[in-house]
């Protein structure tokens, strides 16, 4: 029994006590230049090696802490600068899109002896997906269109602009019905937009100024109101 106790004390208890004492001294003094003396190749020695490696890593980072902090601060500043520039550019793009959308909404309407036309546009957001237009077609007809694109924002505003151009372009073709024009506009927009997550509804009509006959087609839009 005495021999066994001597073996345990020499090979287990004493190395663990020594390792514990060295760890305590290093942690209390914060002397990161100290290293635990390694004896043998057993598990206790491996634990000492691991502790020495950890101390070396801490020592390395403590010596280079200012450089690491300075580098990280510079990276964050650069990231914040890039983000600020991106936000500024996005704001400018939104302002430009809003100006374009404001300009496609008519402020001046065709003037003649048969009818009076007026309109008002109040978008829920800075950039909406709505559009209306009243435009002269030849000498004796007036085109009237109301468009509602799904969603809001730049993409919806872009589609309303395309719709405006398409309706105006096809309306100037002679002897074409409102139904035919709406169909051609639909084909044109679908060719450009395809399967994107957007759609639009439209009400389009042509008023003949000679006989005041109003020919119209409704493409999924709310019914128009006729008030007498």
Please, which residues have CB within 8 angstroms of residue 198's CB and are 6 or more apart in sequence?
Answer: 149, 150, 151, 155, 156, 159
Q: Residue 115 — φ and ψ, nearest 5°?
A: -140, 160
> 149 vs 145, 169, 221, 222, CA distance in Å?
13, 19, 10, 13
Does residue 25 contact residue 32 with C-beta atoms inside 8 Å?
A: no
Rounded distance between C-alpha atoms, residue 130 and residue 160, angstroms: 7
Question: Which run of H or of E encompasses 40?
Answer: none
Tokens of 31: 């002397």
Question: For residues 177 and 146, what is the distance between their CA atoms, to the nearest angstrom?
Answer: 17
Per-residue pLDDT for the chain (228 aa), expressed as one digit of tens each? 555 555 445 555 555 566 566 656 555 555 555 655 666 666 666 666 666 666 666 666 666 656 666 777 777 777 776 776 767 777 776 777 677 777 778 888 888 888 888 888 877 666 667 888 998 888 889 999 999 888 777 777 788 888 888 898 888 887 789 999 999 998 988 888 877 677 888 999 999 999 999 999 999 888 888 888
The reply to whether the predicted model has a pTM over 0.85 is: no
């Amino acid at each position: 029994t005495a021999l066994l106790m001597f073996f345990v004390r020499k090979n287990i208890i004493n190395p663990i006590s020594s390792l514990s004492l060295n760890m305590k001294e290093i942690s209390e003094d914060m002397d990161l230049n100290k290293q635990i003396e390694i004896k043998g190749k057993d598990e206790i020695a491996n634990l000492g090696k691991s502790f020495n490696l950890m101390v070396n890593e801490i020592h390395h980072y403590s010596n280079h802490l200012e450089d690491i902090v300075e580098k990280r601060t510079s990276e964050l500043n650069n990231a914040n600068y890039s983000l600020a520039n991106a936000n500024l550019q996005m704001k400018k793009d939104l302002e430009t899109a809003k100006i374009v959308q404001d300009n496609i909404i008519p402020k001046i309407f065709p003037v003649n002896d048969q009818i009076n036309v007026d309109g008002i546009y109040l978008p829920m957001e800075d950039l909406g997906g709505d559009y209306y237009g009243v435009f002269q077609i030849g000498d004796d007809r007036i085109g009237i269109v109301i468009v509602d694109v799904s969603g809001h924002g730049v993409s919806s505003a872009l589609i309303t602009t395309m719709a405006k151009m398409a309706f105006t372009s096809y309306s100037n073709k002679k002897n074409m019905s409102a139904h035919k024009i709406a169909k051609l506009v639909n084909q044109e927009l679908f060719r450009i937009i395809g399967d994107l997550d957007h759609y639009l509804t439209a009400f389009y009509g042509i008023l003949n100024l000679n006989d005041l006959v109003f020919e119209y087609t409704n493409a999924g839009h709310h019914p128009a109101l006729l008030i007498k």
